[in-house]
Amino acid sequence: MEWNPQTLQFLSECFLNTLSPLPEPRRRAESALSDASDKPNYGLAVLRLVAEPSVDDQIRQAAAVTFKNHLKSRWSPAPPSDGESQILTPIPDPEKDQIKTLIVSLMVNSSPRIQSQLSEALAVIGKHDFPKAWPTLLPELVASVDQLSLANDYVSVNGVLATLNSLFKKFRFQYKTNDLLLDLKYCLDNFAKPLLELFKRTANLIDQAVASGAANAATLKPYIESQRLCCRIFYSLNFQELPEFFEDHMSEWMIEFKKYLTVKYPALEDSSSDGVALVDELRSAVCENISLYMEKEEDLFQGYLSGFVEAVWGLLLVASASSSREQLTVTAIKFLTTVSTSVHHTLFARDDILQQICQSIVIPNVMLRDEDEELFDMNYVEFIRRDMEGSDLDTRRRIACELLKGIALHYKEMVTEKVSTQIQSCLAFFNENPAANWKQKDCAIYLVVSLANRKAGGTSFSTDLVDVENFFGSVIVPELRSEDVNAFPMLKAGALKFFTMFRNQISKPVALALLPDVVRFLDAESNVVHSYAASCIEKLLLVKDEGARPRYTSADISPFLLVLMTNLFSALQKPESEENQYVMKCIMRVLGVAEISREVALPCINGLTTVLNRVCENPKNPVFNHYLFESVAVLIRRASQKDPSLISAFEASLFPSLQFILARDISEFFPYAFQLLSQLVELTLLPDNYVQIFEILLLPESWKKSANVPALVRLLQAFLRKSPHEMIQKERLKSVLGIFSRLVSSPSTDDQGFYVLNTVIENLGYDVISQYAFEIWVVLFTRLRSNKTVKFVKNMIIFMSLFLVKYGSQNLVDTINKVQPDIFRTILEQFWVPNLKLITGSLELKLTSVASTKLICQSPNILDSKLWGKMLDSIVTLLSRPEEERVEDEPEVPDFGEATGYNATFVHLYNVGKKEEDPLKEIKDPKQFLVVSLANLCAASPGMYSPVIGENVEQTNQAALLQLCNTYNVSLV
């Protein structure tokens, strides 16, 4: 695409039309630009349009956005992901060079809006090319920022600093490597000194403006923003380690840092909330910098420490009283927390300082604010994420408690005393006027909950602040017993959270007496309250007593089970809670514990299928949907155990929904649907409608999406086990073996292929299998030759062992040797014997050891004496040594389904269960089977095998074999 008047006109018209409110011209323009984007020099042409002063600003702004996005997708295009066939044409190198030549000066001279877009575009290039492939960039930016600051053009200075900040951020987020440190050294060599000079120059301009009385908001704003950006760059350049230049000039930085924490700028801060926010952002950046030095360079920093603690302290006393200064409060408290856990903790040792921390910093920040109530009412998901799931580390409430925890590391008794006093004071305020002072009680509960300590390795919490049982009885129970479930909802949520957290310490009789009250709260209008009630019940049902016995059983919840289930399903009908994952998780847990009668099962399956039909229309919440399918699975499993006649009712409810999922191609739900179908197949007598699904299962296109494979294999196994003779009709077995062949050829699905093959062998006779044996071995040996992995070899040994115990060793040897004469010996020598010791899993270990024992004891003539002895050596290793001694890690093959993402992965349904078949039920102990079989073999040919054992079995294994013989009272002659 050449740059000429025609190109200028074409692009101008296109970008103008992309802003049209009418869909047709907008679509035409977008399509034309999309076609043009594949042409060489398109990006350069768009950049020239952005630089053209004669073009309307709106058009240039749209072009700048397009230019930035073009660079994001084309500068270094990623390979297409699954389902994408188009590979975007990368920008050619000559065009890249021209763009890099033009972009810095153009960015510097643009209007602020265009400048911000070009700054982002430049950062995109820098991510890939800076510094190695763009050595001219940093010198050009340094020269620009120097000239602009001398000219007092701080709007443009800040545009350049924003770009540098983006470029240097990588030093915060990437692991320390030699390459990264080389890049860092380059940046320090070129910019550490100019950064300090700019920082001091700007500081002087601020000081002069303040001293002369000319410090109005418009003057100060760009200066303060410039200092903030310099602080962020300082953080990036110091993050990996303290550079020598910064160490040499530390006092110059620290003097200015302290000034910004102690000086007030009324012209900005009194003018508007935006002015306060801007200065606070600078102060927050300073707090992060001094926290960094405190963590990484404590010895060098300690000379400045007490002055900074005093400055931050004074700032906090003011900021804590303001609801709009959250970021500054959090970063300032984080700094004090870092100091409190260091060797300088004595700064907090005085009684009066601790008192002031509790009264003036902790309590004001823990007390509920208007914005907390608004979040509680308007965005319950985010409120719970912060409050119950621990993502609130950057909120005032949580960070204030973290400060107390930090101080308590060295002054636990003092902290406990002060906070206990504050808790009692809050409760006394509440008791004076409960309706007006309810926030005081919430504050007391929050302090106890947030400062509780988790006991090592468990779900129990402890606290020294209060006696848990007394506090529960006097403070929490009145809230739980409150008749109005909608009154003071934040207090109710706090009480439910306390009950949930300290559930292990609250005795069973007390908890059971309160459970019906918690069930009432499922009917609360507040989303947080009924979510916390559901979570409380769900967590209570997980409590274990000694010996891992569940504390609460089906008998404990049966008196109010119907009300409980009714309220849970009602909660799912409340606004905003239609896909409430806490409620659905509670449904799943209750169904896993409760005694499920027909009276409970039928409304539950109807309720669950109603929800399933609704989410099928638009799957949004993967966590909710997972618990939904788990709930269906656990209901089917537990109800059918008690009353098999319910299966037909489950089929009648579920089948239309599952067919809808398959027919409408709701791919997110395919793995779940197939797992539920496999569960139903295992429970049913296999009526005709399942056979239709089996036909779909055999179609090659059903297996194209890797996320579906494990669930499809599970379903195929269910069919093969349920009705194996149906499978040998109408070419079906060929189709099944075709599926095995396709799966086993890929390292990511080969274990699934073996699951299919093993199930075929388990359920069909040799008369059926013999005609396909040759093709099976060819497929396996081809894969063995082309891509041998440890996982594949282990799976093949397991399969050969199964084939042997099912059809006999002679059939195994004969069918393998048909592929190539005497290849069985090669397979045995190179794969079976050396890798037998790697087998894991109790059933697999039993199967392979017994099969190997049968091979050497029931068909010894198949092996020569050396191979016989080596096989025995491997069997003894497998049976006598612990797994960690035998098995090394297998890094070469990732686990199936390792990819993340809602659409990409198979998610196993725990409650569907997995049917493990033991093909050797008649053999209880493989060790006993080995020594008894050996004894019988030796008795038939006395003296023949002892020399073979002596020559070929390792000394440690000979000793282990002798010990096994003694254990089972047999001898080898």
Q: For the segment 9-27, what is each residue's pLDDT rounded down to a tens digit?
A: 999 999 999 999 999 999 9
Other beta carbons less than 10 A from residue 917's beta carbon: 13
**Which among 861, 880, 853, 874 is positioned nearest to 936, based on CA atoms?**
853
Which residue did the predictor score with more confidence, 147 or 690? Answer: 147
The reported pLDDT for the residue numbered 87 is 67
pLDDT at 626 over 90: yes
916's tokens: 């493990």
- Cα-flanking dihedrals φ and ψ of residue 177, to 5°? -135, 170
The reported pLDDT for the residue numbered 392 is 57
13's tokens: 């018209």
Q: Which long-range contacts (CB under 8 A, 24 or more apart) does 878-882 make?
A: 878/836, 878/837, 878/839, 878/845, 878/848, 878/849, 878/852, 879/845, 879/849, 879/926, 879/927, 879/930, 879/964, 880/957, 880/960, 880/961, 880/963, 880/964, 881/837, 881/960
pLDDT at 544 over 80: yes
Residues 6+ apart with CB under 8 A from 38: 89
On the 0-12 / 13-18 / 19+ scale of CB atoms within 10 A, 74 is: buried
The reported pLDDT for the residue numbered 955 is 92
On the 0-12 / 13-18 / 19+ scale of CB atoms within 10 A, 696 is: exposed
pLDDT at 522 over 90: yes
The reported pLDDT for the residue numbered 704 is 81
**Which among 298, 403, 301, 302 is positioned nearest to 353, based on CA atoms?**
403
Helix (H) or strand (E) holding 544, with range, is strand 544-545
**Which among 854, 856, 680, 844 is positioned nearest to 758, based on CA atoms?**
844
The reported pLDDT for the residue numbered 543 is 94
pLDDT at 897 over 70: no
pLDDT at 209 over 60: yes
Give, in order, the Cα–Cα distances in Å from 217 to each of 315, 401, 636.
21, 36, 68
The reported pLDDT for the residue numbered 894 is 30
pLDDT at 962 over 80: yes
Give, in order, the Cα–Cα distances in Å from 613 to each of 579, 619, 673.
12, 10, 13
Query: What is the percent of the chain where pLDDT is above 90?
Result: 70
CA angle 389/395/397 to nearest 5° reads: 90
The reported pLDDT for the residue numbered 899 is 30
pLDDT at 903 over 70: no
The reported pLDDT for the residue numbered 898 is 31
Question: What's the CA gap between 970 and 935, in Å, rounded?
Answer: 7
pLDDT in tens, 220-235: 999 999 999 999 999 9
Question: What's the CA gap between 251 and 303, in Å, rounded?
Answer: 10
What residue spans of 433-467 are helical by DSSP H?
438-450
CA 105 to chain centre: 42
The reported pLDDT for the residue numbered 787 is 87
**Which among 760, 765, 747, 748 is positioned nearest to 719, based on CA atoms?**
760
Question: What's the CA gap between 515 and 6, in Å, rounded?
Answer: 77
Residues 6+ apart with CB under 8 A from 150: none
CB 242, CB 177: distance < 8 Å = no
Q: What is the mean pLDDT of residues 846-867?
A: 90
809's tokens: 């060793």
The reported pLDDT for the residue numbered 892 is 34
Which amino acid does the sequence have at 773?
A
- pLDDT bucket at 698, cuts 50 / 70 / 90: confident
Query: What is the percent of the chain where pLDDT is above 70?
Result: 95
* Average per-residue pLDDT for the chain: 90
Give, in order, the Cα–Cα distances in Å from 707 to each of 82, 207, 703, 748.
12, 63, 9, 11
Q: What is the mean pLDDT of residues 875-888?
A: 83
CA angle 649/654/659 to nearest 5° reads: 135
Which residue did the predictor score with more confidence, 725 or 135? Answer: 135
pLDDT in tens, 818-828: 999 989 999 99
pLDDT at 64 over 90: yes
The reported pLDDT for the residue numbered 226 is 97
Question: What's the CA gap between 273 and 325, in Å, rounded?
Answer: 10
3-state class of 263 per DSSP?
Answer: coil
CA angle 928/932/935 to nearest 5° reads: 145
Residues 6+ apart with CB under 8 A from 896: 709, 710, 748, 749, 751, 752, 906
Question: What's the CA gap between 30 and 32, in Å, rounded?
Answer: 5
pLDDT at 82 over 50: no
pLDDT at 887 over 80: no
- pLDDT bucket at 729, cuts 50 / 70 / 90: low
Residues 6+ apart with CB under 8 A from 189: none
- pLDDT bucket at 896, cuts 50 / 70 / 90: very low
pLDDT at 586 over 90: yes
Place of tokens 């008749």: 483
- Give the count of alpha carbons within 13 A of 392, CB side only: 23
- pLDDT bucket at 390, cuts 50 / 70 / 90: low
111's tokens: 């209007």
171's tokens: 């030093």
312-316, 493-497, 712-716, 894-898, range with the lowest pLDDT: 894-898
Q: What is the DSSP string of 774-817?
A: HHHHHHHHHHHHH---HHHHHHHHHHHHHHHHHH-HHHHHHHHH
The reported pLDDT for the residue numbered 823 is 93
- pLDDT bucket at 801, cuts 50 / 70 / 90: very high
Residues 6+ apart with CB under 8 A from 800: 812, 827, 832, 851
Q: What is the mean pLDDT of residues 579-583?
A: 96
Q: What is the mean pLDDT of residues 109-137?
A: 93
**Which among 306, 308, 307, 303 is positioned nearest to 288, based on CA atoms?**
308
**Which among 689, 685, 741 is positioned nearest to 718, based on CA atoms?**
685
Question: What's the CA gap between 456 and 88, in Å, rounded?
Answer: 52
Give the single-character DSSP code of 838: G
Q: Which long-range contacts (CB under 8 A, 24 or more apart) does 628-633 make?
A: 628/584, 629/669, 629/672, 629/675, 629/676, 629/909, 630/588, 630/909, 630/910, 630/911, 631/584, 631/587, 631/588, 631/591, 632/605, 632/608, 632/676, 633/675, 633/676, 633/679, 633/909, 633/910, 633/911, 633/912
What residue spans of 684-747 are helical by DSSP H?
688-697, 709-722, 724-727, 732-744
- Cα-flanking dihedrals φ and ψ of residue 921, to 5°? -60, -30
595's tokens: 């005694």
Place of tokens 């760059």: 233
- Give the count of alpha carbons within 13 A of 178, CB side only: 0
Question: What's the CA gap between 105 and 115, in Å, rounded?
Answer: 10
Length of the chain: 973
